Amino acid sequence: MSDKKITLHKGDLAEGIAFGDSVAVDSETLGLNPHRDRLCLVQLSAGDGTAHLVQLDGSDYDAPRLKAVLADQNVLKIFHFARFDIAVIHRYLGVVATPVYCTKIASKLVRTYTDRHGLKDVVSELAGVELSKQQQSSDWAAAKLTDQQLAYAASDVLYLHTVKRRLDEMLAREGRTHLAEKAFEFLPTRAELDLGGFGDIDVFSH
């Protein structure tokens, strides 16, 4: 991480930051229940070795510049497990982060030789980087985040562009690109179902 640049922003992105036509996005919350556990941090990276972290204090979710990036239809948002991030971003920021690409879904569609689809395993194999998940269960609502927390949060987005490129090659090779695209298109609806109380229900089952 020593060659990576991490910038922390309080409340919103600074003016003049652009991410190009695709941005890797992740979020940190106080838990996995969007109705109970608030959004604390949103991480973004253009895949160029820099990460911008927006810290939200829980009292103000205005963040117009952050929302503009997330809602921009000309910017592809790359997530790992987009289902959760889209839901929590919608719940607290009031925007639907589309269009979207989910590296976890893509991994499940083509890395069928393994059941290990967590970010750590995917980045290790496809980007050759070993991530530390030590700070995964830490207090993201703390007024001052530690250097270890910032490094952890940044690592969740710094390598997603590289992972996406590898997964795209594998999807094309196996003839499953169209399946991935259809799954990605459904993600905002899946997130809306989660927010509506249908998280544990398979609405497609008999």
**Is 165 within 8 Å of 52 (Cβ atoms)?**
no
Q: Collect all residues with Cβ–Cβ distance below 8 Å to 117 and sequence separation of at least 6.
A: 104, 107, 108, 111
DSSP state string for 81-100 = SHHHHHHHHHHHH-----SE
C-alpha–C-alpha distance, residues 139 and 31, integer Å: 10
DSSP state string for 98-128 = -SEEEHHHHHHHH-TT-S--SHHHHHHHHH-
Average pLDDT over the chain, rounded to an integer: 96
**Is 61 within 8 Å of 16 (Cβ atoms)?**
no
Instruction: List the strands of the sheet with 100-102, edge to edge.
Output: 5-10, 50-55, 39-45, 22-29, 76-79, 100-102
Q: What is the mean pLDDT of residues 66-94?
A: 98
Q: What is the mean pLDDT of residues 80-95?
A: 98
C-alpha–C-alpha distance, residues 131 and 153, integer Å: 11
pLDDT for res 47: 97
pLDDT digits over 112-162, tens only? 999 999 999 999 999 999 998 777 779 999 999 999 999 999 999 999 999
Q: How many Cβ atoms from other residues are within 10 Å of residue 9's Cβ? A: 18
State CA 147 to chain mean position distance.
20
pLDDT digits over 28-77, tens only? 999 999 999 999 999 999 999 999 999 999 999 999 999 999 999 999 99
Is the pLDDT assigned to residue 3 strictly greater than 90? Answer: no
Q: Provide the whole-model pTM.
A: 0.96
The domains found in the chain, sorted by start residue, are 5-196 (3.30.420.10)
Q: What is the mean pLDDT of residues 17-34?
A: 97
Is the pLDDT assigned to residue 1 strictly greater than 70? Answer: no
C-alpha–C-alpha distance, residues 191 and 186, integer Å: 9
